[in-house]
Amino acid sequence: MIEFLERIFSPLTNLLGSGLELFYSYGAPWWLSIAILTVVVRSILFPLTVRQVKSMRAMQDLKPEMDKIRAKYKDNRQQQQEEIMKLYQERKVNPFGSCLPLLIQMPIFITMFYVIQGFGATHESFASGGVLWFQDLSMKDPYYLLPVLSAVTMLAASEITSKHIDAQQRWMMRILPVVFTVFLLNFPAGLFMYWITSNLVTLVQNYFIYNHGPGRKTATDGSASKSGKLVTSRGENEGKVATKNAQFQNSGKNGHEAPEAEPSERTTQAAKAAKRKRRRKKKR
């Protein structure tokens, strides 16, 4: 199975390996060469990341209509799927668009594993090409700090995205870094240089996408439900006031007593009545 995967990814392995050697030939140490290569690869994939966010936003906009379709055809699963597919076609939304960057990044991650494994066997300088406490990039981190740092950077990057998804999916994204940490615990340090750098790039990209790009929530999105509630409550209050006014007018027309006046109004009316009595006495 491993040999089969190596044959499949060999073209990409040669390409990334050549890029890594190119940066090293310009004087960058191996750990920095891995980081630079990661930034270059993620920059090339950036348009796909933007497309992923646009697809996620489009799916969120369609959710109310999709919920209506599911409620309407709740007893007919096939009809439900057909109507949802029609909705995708009418709005020109690709439901799998948000998965495309992930499907591309996973082969790159696997390829980087083979590149680092191969460089550790063929390049003697790779064993001392690390920095700080992880000098051998082909071996695992002896203190397991890189896996923890990888989980922290991945969690920080996903927190920006998780604010724009459902609560259930948000918790899944928070658990995912822990699962990755356990899975990657004994992987070579050089691979963590790729993964941590990739997480940091994702963090920066997500910040700009969700604050200044297509993922940014508009004022309409953020206050739609609140404004709807305000309009409803305002309409109810206006309706109550109108009903009271109508009742007051009808009671006056029908000869019924008007509602009792407020205390301040009663005081004013009493003062006017007293003035009128005094004037009558003076005239007499």
Q: What is the 3-state secondary structure (H, E, C) of the chain?
A: CHHHHHHHHHHHHHHHHHHHHHHHHCCCCHHHHHHHHHHHHHHHCHHHHHHHHHHHHHHHHHHHHHHHHHHHCCCCHHHHHHHHHHHHHHHCCCCCHHHHHHHHHHHHHHHHHHHHHHHHHHCHHHHHCCECCECCCCCECCCCHHHHHHHHHHHHHHHHHHCCCCHHHHHHHHHHHHHHHHHCCCCEHHHHHHHHHHHHHHHHHHHHHHHHCCCCCCHHHHHHHHHHHHHHHHHHHHHHHHHHHHHHHHHHHCCCCCCCCCHHHHHHHHHHHHHHHHHHHHHC
Compare 9 and 243 and report the one with higher pLDDT: 9
Task: Read off the pLDDT band of 94 (50, 70, 90).
Answer: confident
As a whole number of angstroms, the distance between CA 171 and CA 158 comes to: 11
pTM of this structure: 0.69
- Cβ distance 102 to 110 under 8 Å? no
10 domain-assigned: yes
Least confident among 162-166, 184-188, 213-217: 162-166
Task: Read off the pLDDT band of 281 (50, 70, 90).
Answer: low
As a whole number of angstroms, the distance between CA 196 and CA 186 comes to: 15
Nearest-10 Cα torsion for 130, 193, 38, 113: 100
Give the relative orientation of helices 100-122 and 2-25 as an angle to the nearest 10 degrees: 70
Q: What is the mean pLDDT of residues 132-157?
A: 90
Question: Could you tell me the sign of the dihedral formed by the alpha carbons of 98, 104, 107, 112, in that order?
Answer: negative
pLDDT score recorded for residue 91: 81
Reply yes or no on whether the pLDDT at 247 is more than 60.
no
52 domain-assigned: yes
235, burial (CB in 10 Å: exposed 0-12, middle 13-18, buried 19+): exposed
Task: Read off the pLDDT band of 145 (50, 70, 90).
Answer: very high
- Cβ distance 193 to 34 under 8 Å? yes
Least confident among 35-44, 98-107, 231-240: 231-240
Task: Read off the pLDDT band of 261 (50, 70, 90).
Answer: very low
283 domain-assigned: no
The two structure tokens encoding residue 109: 């991650």
Q: What are phi and psi of 188, to 5 degrees?
A: -65, 150
238 domain-assigned: no
Reply yes or no on whether the pLDDT at 257 is more than 50.
no
pLDDT score recorded for residue 157: 84
111 domain-assigned: yes
Least confident among 9-13, 44-48, 103-107: 103-107
77 domain-assigned: no
CB atoms within 10 A of CB 65: 14
pLDDT score recorded for residue 248: 46
Q: How many domains does the chain have?
A: 1
248 domain-assigned: no
Least confident among 50-64, 83-97, 236-250: 236-250
247 domain-assigned: no
The two structure tokens encoding residue 189: 């340090």
Residue linked to tokens 């604010």:
163
Q: Mean pLDDT for the chain?
A: 77
Q: What is the mean pLDDT of residues 250-257?
A: 47
pLDDT tens for 209-244 read 888 777 676 655 544 444 444 434 444 444 454 444
Highest mean pLDDT: which range of 120-129, 207-216, 258-267: 120-129
Specify the length of the chain in residues. 284
- Name every residue whose Cβ is closer than 8 Å to that of residue 248 and which is 6 or more positions away in sequence: 258, 259
Q: What is the mean pLDDT of residues 60-67?
A: 84
Supply the range of the domain harboring residue 29.
2-61+97-216
